[in-house]
């Protein structure tokens, strides 16, 4: 009897909600079975039937699929606060110190202050123009390497070449120099690719919380821990180098790490900026070096 009452209450509550159209879903997996090898094409086919705004369930996670510029504008501008949250995935929680970066942290005072750092201090027009010489030098180096390869008749992998240029530009602008460790992935470019691959990997805990233990069997948990440890050691090394330069050389050009350390030292924000906060914010730039997110 109690189960019948609970079912009726659930149905009554469901009827009151004005939800977008949604294709039929299966128990447990929701609409996951309707996604093919190319999810964007699956979304397009479903949106042609159910409209520019539809509701899908990935496991137990309700997800809005927007395939119209008008609807996207309504969500991002008119109702931006209502949709300002991001899902805090297992990978994001590990890599971003409990989601204290700009991309995954909950909407609130900390997010506003972190966004202010990025908009006013890091991505301002003045700051972007200050690093124009970095972009010019890296592009010139790329063109020269391609020219020499043409002379020698060697093949050129343009995908790898463009990725290297992107990594070098962001590394120099964010961290002050290009960090390369030959024969190892433990460098800026290698770590960025590992992070993106793991964030994009299928995680059982994110879709089916009670099946989180499966991620241990698939090796995802070990991959997250190992990459996170290498990444945080790398960023600690970068920050230590910058603190040493600040104490011994006031004339060097300030990069993103220097700006964050200055803000931490001066206490100019309404929040306490810890080293973990700094590394989490730096992680956003590190992730942007991968063309998957560009």
Q: What is the mean pLDDT of the chain?
A: 82
* Whether pLDDT at 76 is above 80: yes
* Whether pLDDT at 211 is above 70: yes
pTM of the full structure: 0.74
pLDDT of residue 128: 84
CB atoms under 10 Å from CB of 88, counted, come to 15
- The answer to the question of residue 99 being in a domain is no
pLDDT of residue 252: 63
Unique residue bearing structure tokens 């190319």: 38
Last residue of a domain, one of 83, 101, 126: 83
- The answer to the question of residue 91 being in a domain is no
How many structural domains are present in the chain? 2
Cα separation, 274 vs 283, in Å, equals 14
pLDDT of residue 188: 67
pLDDT of residue 110: 85
Query: Helix, strand or coil for residue 53?
Result: strand
Statement to judge: residues 117 and 242 lie in one domain: yes
Highest mean pLDDT among 1-15, 64-78, 234-248: 64-78
Statement to judge: residues 39 and 169 lie in one domain: no
Cα separation, 205 vs 93, in Å, equals 12
Q: How far is CA 273 from CA 117, 192, 278, in A?
A: 11, 23, 7
Statement to judge: residues 116 and 214 lie in one domain: yes
Q: Are 101 and 114 in contact (CB under 8 A)?
A: yes
Statement to judge: residues 271 and 170 lie in one domain: yes
- The answer to the question of residue 131 being in a domain is yes
Query: Beta strands 53-58 and 61-66: pairing type?
Result: antiparallel
Last residue of a domain, one of 68, 83, 98: 83
Chain CA centroid to CA 116, Å: 18
* Whether pLDDT at 146 is above 90: yes
- Looking at the chain, the whole-number percentage of residues with pLDDT higher than 90 is 22
pLDDT of residue 217: 92
180-196 confidence digits (pLDDT tens): 654 444 566 778 788 88
4: confidence class by pLDDT, cuts 50, 70, 90: very low
- Among candidate residues 224, 218, 167, the one with its CA nearest the CA of residue 194: 224
Last residue of a domain, one of 64, 83, 102: 83
Domain that residue 120 falls in: 110-293
């Amino acid at each position: 009897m109690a189960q019948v009452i609970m079912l009726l209450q659930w149905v009554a509550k469901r009827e009151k909600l004005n939800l977008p159209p949604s294709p039929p879903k299966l128990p447990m997996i929701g609409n996951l079975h309707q996604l093919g090898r190319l999810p964007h094409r699956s979304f397009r086919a479903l949106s042609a039937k159910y409209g520019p705004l539809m509701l899908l369930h990935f496991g137990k996670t309700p997800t809005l699929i927007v395939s119209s510029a008008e609807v996207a504008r309504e969500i991002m501008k008119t109702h931006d606060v209502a949709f300002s949250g991001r899902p805090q995935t297992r990978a994001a929680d590990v890599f971003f110190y409990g989601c204290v970066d700009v991309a995954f942290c909950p909407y609130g005072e900390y997010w506003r202050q972190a966004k202010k750092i990025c908009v006013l201090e890091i991505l301002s027009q003045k700051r972007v123009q200050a690093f124009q010489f970095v972009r010019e030098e890296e592009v010139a180096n790329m063109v020269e390497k391609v020219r020499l390869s043409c002379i020698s008749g060697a093949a050129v992998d343009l995908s790898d070449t463009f990725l290297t240029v992107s990594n070098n530009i962001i590394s120099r602008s964010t961290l002050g120099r290009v960090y390369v460790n030959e024969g190892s992935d433990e460098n800026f470019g290698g770590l960025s690719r590992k992070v993106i691959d793991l964030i994009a990997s299928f995680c059982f805990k994110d879709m089916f919380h009670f099946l989180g233990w499966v991620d241990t069997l698939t090796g995802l948990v070990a991959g997250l821990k190992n990459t996170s440890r290498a990444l945080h050691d790398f960023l600690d090394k970068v920050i230590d180098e910058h603190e040493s330069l600040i104490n011994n050389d006031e004339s060097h050009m300030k990069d993103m790490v220097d700006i964050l350390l200055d803000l931490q030292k001066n206490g100019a924000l309404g929040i306490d900026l810890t080293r973990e906060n700094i590394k989490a914010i730096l992680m956003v730039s590190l992730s942007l070096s991968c063309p998957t997110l560009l």
